[in-house]
Structure formats: structure tokens, C-alpha cells
Amino acid sequence: MHPFQELIEKFNQDFDTLHFPSQPATLYEPSEYFLKIGGKRIRPVLCLLGNELFSDLHPDAFLAAKAVELFHNFSLVHDDMMDEASLRRGQPTVHTKYDANTALLVGDIMVIRAYEYLQPIQSNHLSKILGLFNQTAREVCEGQQLDMDYAKKATVTIDEYIHMITLKTSVLLAASLEMGAIIGGAGEHNCKHLYEFGKKLGIAFQIQDDYLDAFGDASLFGKEAGGDIKQNKKTFLLIRALEMANAEQLITLNALLASDPADKVDQVLTIFKDCKVDAWAEDLKQKYMQEALAHLESIAVVSARKKPLIDLANYLMNRIQ
Amino acid sequence: MHPFQELIEKFNQDFDTLHFPSQPATLYEPSEYFLKIGGKRIRPVLCLLGNELFSDLHPDAFLAAKAVELFHNFSLVHDDMMDEASLRRGQPTVHTKYDANTALLVGDIMVIRAYEYLQPIQSNHLSKILGLFNQTAREVCEGQQLDMDYAKKATVTIDEYIHMITLKTSVLLAASLEMGAIIGGAGEHNCKHLYEFGKKLGIAFQIQDDYLDAFGDASLFGKEAGGDIKQNKKTFLLIRALEMANAEQLITLNALLASDPADKVDQVLTIFKDCKVDAWAEDLKQKYMQEALAHLESIAVVSARKKPLIDLANYLMNRIQ
């Protein structure tokens, strides 16, 4: 058993290599570029933690972890195209640094590379892992579609937003954990609770993400300051503010959504604070975190084995970037 | 054993269903639309023929066939975006009928659906099938990248073009056959010869495709008449014509490539005929067809079992659309 920080290091050592052949360079050089600009590697580490919850680290867990990381990067490359995002982790996105056709094919080759990493997994686990991976991949695409659909919708409820976030973000965290657990030989009951732990943790993670985008220190966060607010993104915070605002606040907020004044971010943040959206988000995050921990509690292994996962969950919930 | 026409019908019966759930309709309705506009279903039928070469039809061959067809459609949807093609099989492409973001995600969900079809294949074959499928999928993407790279290159040789076509088209035909053969219990030697048969057949198929685009009856072919010529596409025919043209023809041809006169297609076709590019293409097609048949000859099963494959090869080589 290892602390999660050590597993991140172990994964990074394994992952810090070329993932593609050299030719055609017009396809593979941009693919390596994007993988090199980093990321927190939360998903692959969840896979390793899921494995160590039940057994010693197995080489197959590293294969699944790499598949998950490749899949995550595929979804980022294509999502950035759809969102017309120019920066990711503070660096130019693939379609910005190269062009749209390159980014399209880079995403495609990354998802195929993900399946290449899964292929050598021992055959008694392969079908189950592949089934879980496929289902998750499909749900992530559905989540991205809902995200685009919601951008065009006048009103989105908190429940709709949670449904979308569950698909777009949470299920991949959940599946990462469960893939590790399957490789570790976990039974159905334990797998399901671990999956639910990941799902709830993922929602708490997204609440934190939305919070940081609005209230965090942009210089640490690697994205544009108040980027969500500038784009009128329907986040947890905006949806709640639209629900809670009084008549006067609602007029101001809707006017801000329909315009683009220089101090838009500051004005929206003032309304968020007046509506106590920040405190509400903190409470909601804690609620999901407690639900997540209750599922972890239900997993039938000695408590000591759960410590690295609890540490990671706490780290994610208290991160400032 | 069945004639290939019967296997096409069998496949179509199996395939003529919804491949996705209903929601989100913004994602799945366009996906079903594209699968519904048809296609010759050559690749899935090769998979069934590969299976029947060695054993009775196995349900897993239908799964592999559906995976191959979904993958092929994924590549068409994304290729059409990159090529800015507005029609496919005489119908609007996905990015034309809907929009680019929809087409991007439709392609993504199709490739995932392909892997979903593979997942229930019996576990003694799954790893091998998945490995072959992954390798092929990667090569198809590499072929598409080379195709885009070549469009920007001043000169492309016949060898370079054949390399690109092998990746973009042939390997999927070859892999379809081999996946069927693996499911049919074929050994390594037979699998390799069947794969090579498919690869050579694929090149012959592409020569025929290029020929039909230039000299075929556009009303039957379902694409724009002389579409390749209008787009200055570096096909077998144009590459050969540029190699064979005399000084005067070369000046005319280069002038036509740099302009867009109303009778461009007719003028280019005249040069093609003067350079005997049509007869050359026919000879080259026959050469690859003979090489393909020699590999089929080397497969250790009784000749009678090979008849449906030979019939399909002849049908493909003599098609007029």
C-alpha cells in the first residue's frame, strides 16, 4: 500500500514516455504535445488506489490507468474543439496550436490508444474491464452532448446539471476506481460501493471546480480568471444564483448575462456572494463528500487500507487549484 | 456456406435495427441517420465470409461485423468533416445536415459503439480480435493523416499513394476477413494469407474506385461526377498522368489544376485518355487482383469453400457503382 502522492509519482514515471510511434509526425507530434502538458492524473491514480484497496499493485492496473488517462485526454481535445477553448492547463489547445483537422484526428488516435492499453490485460478480466470502459466512454460522450444542449437551453435545474456532470465527469472517476478493483479481485458488492464512492466524489469535485473557477486564484488555477462567468456557463453557482436571486438581483444578473461589461466577473461574483451561493456550494460539496465516504465505509476491507483513498478525497476537496 | 449476396442480406437483417438508445436525441438521432443511409456493407460481409471459410457462421462473427461497420462509419463521419464533403452516398453528411460539433461527437460515439459490439465475443478470442481491431483502427487514422498531408504536398509518388491507401482502406478489409477467420478457428498461416488477400483486394478496390470517380456513371455512383478531378485529388489516375504526360500535356494539366474552368472534368479526362491512364489503371487493378487470388490459393481449405470470396472479389472488380 502506498500514499496517493507516491502512486502519482509511480504513475508519472510509467507515463513519462512516448505513447506513439514517430510517423506520421503530423499526427503523433501533436498527440505527444498534449499528453506532455500535464494534468493532475487523478483518474489513473484512482485506478491504482482501487487496485491497492484489494491487493498488491498489479501491472494490469497500470495498463488500465494509462487507458483511462488516454481516454480523458481524448475527451479534452475534442471538448476543447467544441467549446472553442484556446487554453488548457495554461497551454494552447491542440486545435489552436495546430488546426481543427489535426485535433480531430489526435482525439481519435488517443481513444484508440486507450483501447490498445487495455488489450493485454489478463483474459479473465478483459471482458469485464472492456464492458465497464465502454459504458463509461459512452456516458462521457452523452454528458458532453448534454453540456452542449444545456448551453442552448433557457433554464437548467440543479438536478439536470448534476445528471450532466455525473455523465461528463463522475462516471470516469468511478470507473477508474472500479477497474482497479476488478484487477485486484474485488467482488461485486465491493465494486459497486467503490463505484458509487467515485461517483459522489466526482460530483463534489465538480462543485469544487465550479467554485474555484469563480472564487479561486486564477494564477494558480491555469484557466482564465472567471472564465465560466465570462462565457455565461451554467455552473452549479449560476444555476443556484438564478434560483435564489430576488427580483432586483435577477434583473441585474440577466442583464449581465446578456452583455459583456469590463467588470462582468466582479459584478456577477457580488451577486453570487449576496445570494450566499458560495456557502451553499460548500455545504453541497460536503453533502456529496459524506455520501461518498459512507459508500467507502461499506466496503469490506480493513479500515487501514482505505486511508490513501480518504487522503486523496480530502486533498481534492481542499485543493486551491 | 452461403453466397456473398445471401450474407449481405443476413447482415442487413441483423443490422437493420436501432444501434443506440433514444436519449440524448441530439446525439443519437444523427448517429442513426447516418447508419440508415446505407452503404455496400462490404466490410462486414468480408468478416462473415472469413468466418465461413473455416467453420459454420458463429454469432461472434456478426458482432465483429457490426463493430467493423460502426468503425467504418465513424471514419466516414470524421473524414467528411476533414474533407468538407457535403454529400455521402447521395445524402447530406452529418456535419452538413446537423453541425460540426454534432458530427464530431457522432463519430466518437460510433467508435465506442464498435468496441461495445466486440466486448461480448467469447473470451478465448477477445484479446486477439481486440488487438487486430486496435492495430487496424490506428492504421486507418494514420492513412487519413497521410491523405491530408499528401493533399498539401507538391508531388506524390504511386508508391506513396499505395502506402496511404493500404492504411486508409485496405487494412480494414483485410482485418475484417481475419477477424472472421479467427472466430472460425483458423490458424496463423491461414489468417496471414487471408489478411494479405484482403490487403491486395483493397488496393484493387481503390484503383476501381478512383477509376469510377473519373470514368464511371455519376448518376449510379452516388457522388458528384468527376468529384476527385474537381478537387484536384491526387488519385492513382492523376499521379500516373502527371508522371506520363509529355511537356505540352503537363503544361495543360498543371494549368487545369491551378484553375477551375467549367469544362475542367472533360479536359482532364481527355488528358487521362491521351496518356492511357485508363488502360494502365485496369492493368494495375488486375495485377493486384492476381496477387490477392494467389494468397487465397495458399489458404489450406478445400477450393469449394473459397468460391463465395472469389465471387465477391469479381463482383467488386466489375462493379459499375
Mean pLDDT of all residues belonging to chain B: 95
Whether the bond between B24 and the residue before it is cis, its omega within 30 degrees of 0, is yes
Residue of higher predicted confidence among B1 and B278: B278
Domain extents for chain A? 4-318
In order, the DSSP letters of A217-266 are -HHHHSS-TTHHHHTT---HHHHHHHHH--HHHHHHHHHHHT---TTHHH
Distance between CA atoms of residues A134 and A149, nearest Å? 23
Cβ contact, residue pair A138, B113, below 8 Å: yes
Q: Is pLDDT at B107 greater than 80 in this prediction?
A: yes
Give the pLDDT confidence of A83-117 residue by residue, as tens digits.
Answer: 999 999 889 999 999 999 999 999 999 999 999 99
**8 Å CB contact between B161 and B239:** yes
Whether the bond between A24 and the residue before it is cis, its omega within 30 degrees of 0, is yes
Is residue A56 very low, low, confident or very high in pLDDT (cuts 50, 70, 90)? very high
Cell of B78: 470524421
Q: Which residues sit opposite B87 in a β-bridge?
A: B92
Rounded alpha-carbon distances, angstroms, from residue B260 to B85, B232, B265, B269: 18, 10, 9, 14
Q: Given 1.10.600.10, 1.10.10.10, 3.30.360.10, 1.10.357.10, which CATH number is that of A4-318?
A: 1.10.600.10
Rounded alpha-carbon distances, angstroms, from residue A103 to A80, A85, A108, A141, B266: 9, 12, 9, 17, 37
**8 Å CB contact between B53 and B180:** yes
Give the pLDDT confidence of A243-269 residue by residue, as tens digits.
Answer: 999 999 999 999 999 999 999 999 999
Distance between CA atoms of residues A133 and B134, nearest Å? 15
Nearest CA distance, A276 vs chain B (angstrom):
33
Give the pLDDT confidence of B205-248 residue by residue, as tens digits.
Answer: 999 999 998 998 766 655 666 888 998 999 999 999 999 999 99
Q: What percent of chain A has pLDDT over 70?
A: 97
Q: What is the pLDDT of residue B38?
A: 79
Cβ contact, residue pair B27, A142, below 8 Å: yes
Best of B82, B141, B150 to disrupt the A interface (most A CBs within 10 Å) is: B141
Is residue B21 very low, low, confident or very high in pLDDT (cuts 50, 70, 90)? very high
Q: What percent of chain A has pLDDT over 90?
A: 91
Cβ contact, residue pair B148, A26, below 8 Å: yes
Please enumerate residues of A whose Cβ is less than 8 A from a Cβ of B.
24, 26-27, 78, 81-82, 101, 104-105, 107-109, 111-113, 115-116, 118-120, 123-124, 126-127, 130-131, 133-134, 137-138, 141-142, 144-146, 148-149
Query: What is residue A169's DSSP assignment?
Result: I
Give the pLDDT confidence of B285-317 residue by residue, as tens digits.
Answer: 999 999 999 999 999 999 999 999 999 999 998
Give the pLDDT confidence of A113-165 residue by residue, as tens digits.
Answer: 999 999 999 999 999 999 999 999 999 999 999 999 999 998 999 999 999 99
Q: What is the pLDDT of residue A17?
A: 96
Query: What is residue B306's DSSP assignment?
Result: G
Q: What is the pLDDT of residue A34?
A: 98
Cβ contact, residue pair A131, B115, below 8 Å: no
Is residue B165 very low, low, confident or very high in pLDDT (cuts 50, 70, 90)? very high
Nearest CA distance, A77 vs chain B (angstrom):
11
Q: What is the pLDDT of residue A174?
A: 98
Distance between CA atoms of residues A315 and A319, nearest Å? 6
Q: Is pLDDT at B273 greater than 70 in this prediction?
A: yes
**8 Å CB contact between A49 and A194:** no
Give the pLDDT confidence of B51-98 residue by residue, as tens digits.
Answer: 999 999 999 999 999 999 999 999 999 999 999 999 998 899 999 999
Q: Is pLDDT at A221 greater than 60 in this prediction?
A: no
Q: What angle do CA A299, A302, A303 make, to 5 degrees?
A: 85
Phi, psi of B65 (to 5 degrees): -60, -40
Q: Which residues sit opposite B111 in a β-bridge?
A: none
Q: What is the pLDDT of residue B222?
A: 56
Q: Give the three-state DSSP class for A2.
A: coil
Cβ contact, residue pair B145, A24, below 8 Å: yes
**8 Å CB contact between B73 and B35:** yes
Of A105, A138, A148, the CB nearest to B141: A105
Q: What is the pLDDT of residue A138?
A: 98
Of B24, B141, B144, the CB nearest to A112: B141
